[in-house]
Amino acid sequence: MHCRLRPIVKSLVSAGVIMFALGATAGFAAAPNPCAPAARSGANPCAAKNPCAAGDKVDPKRVTRPKGYKPFKADRATLVKQGEALWKDTKLSTNGMSCNTCHVNNAAFAPTFAKPYPHMVAMAKEKGGVKQVHLDEMVQFCMIVPMAAKPLKWESRELAALTAYTGRLQNKFKPNPCAAKNPCAAKNPCAAKNPCAAKK
């Protein structure tokens, strides 16, 4: 008897939970939802807790160089300098992060970063089905996925500067032999290196 009742109790409980969840969602929809505007534009600030795991796929068109693309040109040293400032600028994101938050001391860079571009990057492949990316395309990818922001204008000084600075980091980058030895870490770089996940 006792045992027979259990499933019923269980289903009642879970029905209650579902009703509660539905009620909560409905309530949220009516109340101003801080996540809604960005969610509509494709970026999800709620994903900030684990930005890499953010479910949404990325439309490859948003991260692919446009036709006839002419990157902004300027003196390389100036671009690198401006890029370094942008690299640490949390205003570029909608979730309080900067590129530096994740990539300080080359953190979160998989061994692929050592290879000349274009090359395969796991995140781009998983989220956008893109087999190979150029460096500026990868900057755009991180703008959209972990930074939960809009991509930069393709021919903007900002994109050229961030690309130049990231290229400088790449020149000095030495893949971490431990990361390479641990295939799991490489397959799921977000889990391993996500500074936000650590706070949980």
* Unique residue bearing structure tokens 């969602």: 25
99 binds ligand HEC per the rule CB under 6 A: yes
Candidate ranges 18-26, 37-45, 55-63, 106-114; the one touching ligand HEC (CB under 6 A): 106-114
Choice from 113, 128, 157, 164 touching ligand HEC (CB under 6 A): 113
Q: Cβ–Cβ contacts within 10 Å for residue 84, how many? A: 18
133 in helix, strand or coil? strand
8 Å CB contact between 45 and 148:
yes
Task: Give the integer Cα–Cα distance in Å for 87 and 73.
Answer: 19
Q: How far is the CB of 40 from ligand HEC (least distance, A)?
A: 21
Task: Give the integer Cα–Cα distance in Å for 87 and 161.
Answer: 9
44 binds ligand HEC per the rule CB under 6 A: no
8 Å CB contact between 163 and 74:
no
122 binds ligand HEC per the rule CB under 6 A: yes
140 binds ligand HEC per the rule CB under 6 A: no
Buried-exposed string 1-38: b where 16+ CB fall within 10 A, e elsewhere: eeeeeeeeeeeeeeeeeeeeeeeeeeeeeeeeeeeeeb
160 binds ligand HEC per the rule CB under 6 A: no
101 binds ligand HEC per the rule CB under 6 A: yes
Closer to ligand HEC by Cβ: residue 20 or 69:
69
Candidate ranges 25-33, 59-67, 68-76, 115-123; the one touching ligand HEC (CB under 6 A): 115-123
Task: Give the integer Cα–Cα distance in Å for 127 and 55.
Answer: 8
Choice from 38, 43, 79, 138 touching ligand HEC (CB under 6 A): 138
The first and second tokens of residue 109, run together, are 């860079």
**Residues in contact with ligand HEC by the rule CB under 6 A:** 51-52, 92, 97, 99, 101-103, 108-110, 112-113, 121-123, 135, 138-139, 142-143, 146-147, 162, 166, 189-190, 193
